[in-house]
Amino acid sequence: MTVVAVYLGLLSLIGFWKLRSQQTFKSFFLTGGKLGLFETSLTLMSTWVDSAIILGFSGYCYMFGYDALWIAIPTSVGVYTFSLLFAARVNQMKEGFTIGGVIEKAYGAGISVVSSMFTLLYSITLIATNVMAAGYIMHIMVGTPFVAGASLVLGVALIYTLLGGFKKVVETDILQFFFLIVGLAVLVLFTLKATGGIARIEDIALRYPSAFGFSDIISFFIIFTFPFWANPSFYQRCNAARSPDVARIGVATVGLVDSVMTFVALIVGIAGIALFGRHIVPDAVFPRVVNAVLPKGVRDFVGLAVLSAIMSTADSYLLIAGGIIAHDILRPVRRYMPKEVLYAKVGAIISAVVALFASLLFKNILDAAMFAFSLFVSSSLIPLVVAFYVRDARLYSLPAIGSMVGGGTTVVLWVAFDWGDVSLSVMYGLLASAVSWFVVYGLRGLQRGVDTNG
């Protein structure tokens, strides 16, 4: 517990170090758009490695073995296609540094508020996944009660985010990423030694029965490819990058980290079978493997490394959620916002509190992440693609609203009323989004015809 307290205290001090007051929302949210390739790549990679990848995906590997790759493959596709199709465009949209900003430039301010409501729910849910992970790690490895441990980690991330904005998030991301890479390398070596090596892991993996059907695989490709075309942390960092090439290459480096993390999760998840059988909660597999295979001093180091990764994602989405509330929801409504940074900080605090409560509502980390991704794809994908690739998107403002509401509401209702597996909600949500678009477009055309004839 002492080591954890020292580390969390250090991160809090980073928030105060050379603290300066941010005069504008853009300096608070983007550090002026001056990140070089090194900073852009490391902050993207650090934010990418979160609870869903470390604890959630390790748990999926524990449950499904190699079939879990049906999640990893589309994730890589989503990252690389964003790098090719969107990263440079986002960097060049200097006023479109949030999803709501892109929607506003394309369709108008009122429509961006609708989009931002869904993006805010997405961001808060992703904060909640990392709160869940922090709770598991603090409880299993330190002995802290789940809610108390989660609250402590979330509170520290919130402190340095509020004090320093995006600049402090980037500084801590760089520290946390190197910490994580060393910790995971040590964990893999000790895990292979404890379980009998790669051959033993592969032998266990090949005994898993096939788990997913065609509809499951299609759902995974939709859920884990398309959300990264509209990922708020990608948009923020691409806009903060020094140039379009820096943005494009920075995102591409995330694909390399994703491949490494897939390997680590497979090793740890399948090692869970060798060490514990099939009798533990999937989200707890990662910290329990850490406890089982590492000596105490090394265990503390790796535990802190994983907490670092979780915090590096939580702080990013706290900042994003606060920015959405201030810049994408309140500003278009109030028009004049002299204290936009203050509103963003208050928004981050509110988002943290809501995320803490939301973390108690989901069965596991990956289900929460699937809900977030499904919601985002269903509410934002079609309007965003049109915003980027149609010359005068304002002609489609009403269909865009219909698409957002139809798709996003479908996913929320699917999960709220438990209509089926969370992974399938995206298929119905995206279908509802497309149908809503064409229905509203058709009704608008019909109304225009009536007005013309009248």
CB neighbour class for 270 (10 Å; exposed up to 12, middle 13-18, buried from 19):
buried
Return the top range by mean pLDDT from 48-62, 64-78, 230-244: 64-78
For residues 36 and 250, the answer to whether their CB atoms sit within 8 Å is no
Structure tokens at 13: 């001090």
pLDDT digits (tens, 9 = 90+) for 161-176: 777 666 656 666 677 6
DSSP one-letter code for 24: S
Looking at residues 247-275, what average pLDDT do you find? 90
Looking at residues 33-57, what average pLDDT do you find? 77
Cα 219 to its chain centre, rounded Å, is 18
Angle between helices 425-453 and 214-225 in degrees, nearest 10: 70
How sure is the predictor about 55, in pLDDT bands with cuts at 50, 70 and 90?
confident
Predicted confidence (pLDDT) at residue 424 exceeds the cutoff of 90: no
> CA-CA distance, 188 to 264, in Å (whole number)?
7
> CA-CA distance, 345 to 166, in Å (whole number)?
12
Region of residue 309 (left: phi > 0; alpha: psi -120 to 50; beta: else): alpha
Predicted confidence (pLDDT) at residue 65 exceeds the cutoff of 60: yes
pTM for the structure as a whole: 0.81
3 contact partners, CB below 8 Å, separation of at least 6 = 300, 304
Written as one string, the DSSP assignment of 56-104 is IHHHHHHHHGGGGHHHHHHHHHHHHHHHHHTHHHHHH-TT--SHHHHHH
Q: Which of 436, 322, 316, 441 is nearest to 381 (CA)?
A: 436
> CA-CA distance, 424 to 219, in Å (whole number)?
6
438 contact partners, CB below 8 Å, separation of at least 6 = 399
pLDDT digits (tens, 9 = 90+) for 192-224: 999 999 999 999 998 888 888 888 888 888 888
3-class SS of residue 35: strand
> CA-CA distance, 216 to 427, in Å (whole number)?
10
Predicted confidence (pLDDT) at residue 339 exceeds the cutoff of 80: no
For residues 7 and 175, the answer to whether their CB atoms sit within 8 Å is no
Written as one string, the DSSP assignment of 380-392 is HHHHHHHHHH-TT
Secondary-structure percent of the chain, ordered helix, strand, coil, rounded to 5: 85, 0, 15
For residues 68 and 263, the answer to whether their CB atoms sit within 8 Å is no
Q: pLDDT at position 90, please?
A: 81
Looking at residues 248-261, what average pLDDT do you find? 87
How sure is the predictor about 179, in pLDDT bands with cuts at 50, 70 and 90?
confident
Structure tokens at 78: 């989503």
Q: pLDDT at position 450, please?
A: 47
Q: Which CATH superfamily includes the segment(s) 2-17+34-377? A: Sodium/glucose cotransporter (1.20.1730.10)
Cα angle: 167, vertex 54, 412; to 5 degrees? 85
Looking at residues 244-252, what average pLDDT do you find? 90
Q: Determine which of 49-53, 304-308, 409-413 has the lowest per-residue pLDDT on average.
A: 49-53
pLDDT digits (tens, 9 = 90+) for 97-119: 577 878 888 888 788 888 889 98
Q: Which of 420-443 are b and which e, b meaning 16 or more Cβ less than 10 Å from the residue's Cβ?
A: eebbbbbbbbbebbbebbeebbee
3-class SS of residue 242: coil
List, in sequence order, every residue forming a beta bridge with 35; answer none if it has no partner. 241
Helices marked H in 208-295 — which ranges?
A: 214-225, 232-240, 244-276, 285-293
Looking at residues 264-281, what average pLDDT do you find? 91
Looking at residues 328-355, what average pLDDT do you find? 81
> CA-CA distance, 77 to 105, in Å (whole number)?
27
Q: Which of 169, 32, 29 is nearest to 101 (CA)?
A: 29
Mean pLDDT over the full length of the chain? 82
Q: pLDDT at position 354, please?
A: 95
Q: pLDDT at position 256, please?
A: 84
Predicted confidence (pLDDT) at residue 269 exceeds the cutoff of 60: yes
Predicted confidence (pLDDT) at residue 280 exceeds the cutoff of 70: yes
Predicted confidence (pLDDT) at residue 386 exceeds the cutoff of 60: yes
Predicted confidence (pLDDT) at residue 432 exceeds the cutoff of 90: yes
3-class SS of residue 274: helix
How sure is the predictor about 9, in pLDDT bands with cuts at 50, 70 and 90?
low
Residue predicted with more confidence, 344 or 33? 344
Residue predicted with more confidence, 15 or 444? 444
Q: pLDDT at position 7, please?
A: 56
Domain locations in the chain?
Answer: 2-17+34-377
Looking at residues 38-54, what average pLDDT do you find? 76
Give the CA-trace dihedral at 146, 147, 149, 155, to 10 degrees.
160
Q: pLDDT at position 226, please?
A: 81
315 contact partners, CB below 8 Å, separation of at least 6 = 157, 158, 160, 161, 169, 172, 173
Count the alpha carbons within 13 Å of 65 in the hemisphere toward its beta carbon: 15
Predicted confidence (pLDDT) at residue 322 exceeds the cutoff of 60: yes
Q: Determine which of 2-6, 144-148, 311-315, 381-385 has the lowest per-residue pLDDT on average.
A: 2-6
How sure is the predictor about 91, in pLDDT bands with cuts at 50, 70 and 90?
confident
Predicted confidence (pLDDT) at residue 8 exceeds the cutoff of 60: no
How sure is the predictor about 18, in pLDDT bands with cuts at 50, 70 and 90?
very low
Q: pLDDT at position 404, please?
A: 94
